[in-house]
A and B are shown apart, each in its own frame.
Chain A
């Protein structure tokens, strides 16, 4: 190990190599705990899933049979899987932009110096810790077509979660609602790192809050926005709990709402067909991978690090 004082005395080329060696040493030392943990915890399950996707699951204690790509060809002909893929993407298209936009605006507002800021922040934190059972109950009641608050309040007769045409939107609304608090926490933390000087300069120039938002906040917050975007897209494409908790198995809108993970769950757990369930996971993985790679390429256009 060397320090940079001695490096400074060394010739230019050698200095680079020592610096590189240092980075290699510390870099690997720093990532080893995380990488070791992730490999121990997650590598085997992932490899196993991919292997399972090529097996026919044996029922009643018969053991698995390797079948190659049979599950995949079955999946390509399975219209339910493609419908679920469309449902999942539709869900993500609503959940991701709305949850990010609302959260961004709210985070900026919550970051201002004003009366009751702490109270507001606490309020936006509370929904995160409410028992999922309470959340599901409330939304079922809000959406209830006969006695629900929404229909009674506006005098409507809408079947919010059993009409196949609108059920997916109703579910996505719950998705936006439940993820808002998390996004706000991330954005507030990102906002802490924007220096106040920028806003003071903008204020002197007479820029309005909205101008400052678009010209200062959004560009400077772009790394955080990018992070939230990547993780939310992944999260939204994996939607499951929400659908399971709010929609009954007998709900006639279910085919237009069920997601890929929902199908995977049904195949793997209810039907005990782990092989086919794993095949669906592999499809989901491929979709997420493609979307993420495109986002990674696209980031160079709009994400600014200092």
Chain B
């Protein structure tokens, strides 16, 4: 019994050491971003000798960026973009994932291989044709244009299909005996059990929507319809090597994502509560 206790303790310490080690590696760019934001322009680009900590901490970059850019409008556009992409992606992927994962019907395998096939094409070839579609229907410079390529997701469909395939057959049989049709058993029995996968897809969609630069830049050239990423790039274009300002802007841009993550982290972990008792 005693040895078991010591073993547990050692295990715990090892776990923390490993996690702290990786945390530091993962955090370097983030810390770097913050440190650069507080430097002067010359210090930020100096490499010999290299300056890690700013000699004088100045928040000038932050105040300049904050007064130059309309962050409230940018936050609004970005949040709208994220919201619609997440809603559309999770909704369509959940439906399709359930059909691919739980139902047997003619044409299923062919359709699923089409889904996989889309993932194999490098994203660069889609931009010009998709831009053509949006501009042909005269929808450039709208929120719809921003959301457009993210309405459906091959990745999410595959992810949800995997999640549904992992659920036991017995659950659905019980539901069917209780008189549920397929839609009801999907809605009330099965879909709540894949909540953690939905949240994972939500996180992915949100992060990609937030980071996507190419597409917003192409479809929404009007300044008041840009999301954060495109506005940051415009700023980078205009003040080419002002790294402190660029990093300060990136740091301010991270805030809504961090808030969203903290809000949804609880959901993510609590997936356990609903799906834990499935046996």
| Chain A residues with a Cβ under 8 A of chain B | 1-5, 8, 20, 22-24, 26-28, 30-31, 33-38, 40-42, 44-46, 48-49, 102, 105-106, 109-110, 112, 114, 116, 118, 120-135, 137-139, 141-142, 144, 146-147, 177, 180-182, 185-186, 188-190, 192-193, 195-197, 206, 208-209, 223-224, 226-227, 230-231, 234, 238, 240, 261, 264-265, 268, 278, 281, 284-285, 288-289, 292, 305-306
Contacts and interface: CB of A to CB of B under 8 A. Distances in A.
Contacts of B124: 240, 261, 264-265, 268
Nearest to B213: A132
B138 interface: no
Interface string B147-170: 011011111011100110111110
A224 B196 CA distance: 12
Q: Which 5 pairs, one residue from A and one from B, show the smallest C-beta to C-beta distance? A: A37-B152, A30-B99, A131-B250, A27-B105, A189-B200
Contact of B182 (A22, A186, A284): A22
A28 B107 CA distance: 9
B275 A192 contact: yes
Interface string B190-224: 00010011011001100100110100000000000
Given A4-B176, A41-B149, A146-B48, A193 B122 contact: no
Contacts of B176: 4
Contacts of B213: 132
Contacts of B151: 37, 41
A186 B196 contact: no
Contacts of A5: 179
Contacts of B16: 114, 116
B210 A223 contact: no
B29 to A, nearest CB: 4
A177 B122 contact: no
Interface in B7-30: 7, 11-12, 15-16, 18-19, 22-23, 25-30
B72 interface: no
Nearest to B182: A26
Contacts of A190: 196-197
B122 A238 contact: yes
A34 B204 contact: no
B33 interface: yes
Given A127-B29, A134-B250, A223 B162 contact: yes
B196 to A, nearest CB: 4
A116 B12 CA distance: 12
A213 to B, nearest CB: 12
Interface in B65-108: 91-93, 95-96, 98-100, 103-108
Given A129-B211, A132-B211, A23 B104 contact: yes
Contact of A37 (B92, B111, B181): B92
Contact of B168 (A112, A146, A306): A306
B138 to A, nearest CB: 17
Interface of B: 4, 7, 11-12, 15-16, 18-19, 22-23, 25-30, 32-33, 36, 47-50, 91-93, 95-96, 98-100, 103-108, 111, 114-126, 128-130, 133, 148-149, 151-155, 157-159, 162-163, 165-169, 176-177, 179-183, 186, 193, 196-197, 199-200, 203-204, 207, 210-211, 213, 232, 236, 243, 246-247, 250, 253-254, 257-258, 261-262, 265, 268-269, 271-272, 275-279
A158 B65 CA distance: 38
Nearest to B44: A137
Given A49-B125, A126-B27, A133-B246, A23 B181 contact: no
Contacts of B165: 223, 305
Given A133-B246, A231-B119, A261-B124, A23 B200 contact: no
A37 B85 CA distance: 13
A116 B129 CA distance: 47
B contact patch SS:
helix
Contacts of B181: 1-4, 22, 26
A259 B55 CA distance: 41
A110 B19 contact: yes
Nearest to A52: B125
A227 B162 contact: yes
A263 to B, nearest CB: 11
Given A125-B261, A185-B204, A240-B124, 17 more contacts: A4-B180, A27-B108, A28-B107, A31-B100, A34-B96, A37-B151, A46-B118, A49-B125, A109-B19, A122-B265, A132-B211, A134-B32, A134-B247, A180-B22, A195-B276, A209-B11, A223-B166
B279 A24 contact: no
A284 B152 CA distance: 24
Given A22-B181, A180-B26, A45 B99 contact: no
Given A27-B103, A127-B29, A306-B166, A4 B115 contact: no
B32 A123 contact: no
A224 B180 CA distance: 29
A30 B130 CA distance: 24
A40 B183 CA distance: 26
Contacts of B105: 20, 23-24, 27-28
16 contacts: A28-B99, A33-B152, A34-B95, A34-B96, A38-B114, A41-B130, A49-B121, A102-B22, A105-B18, A120-B19, A120-B23, A122-B262, A125-B203, A126-B27, A206-B4, A227-B158
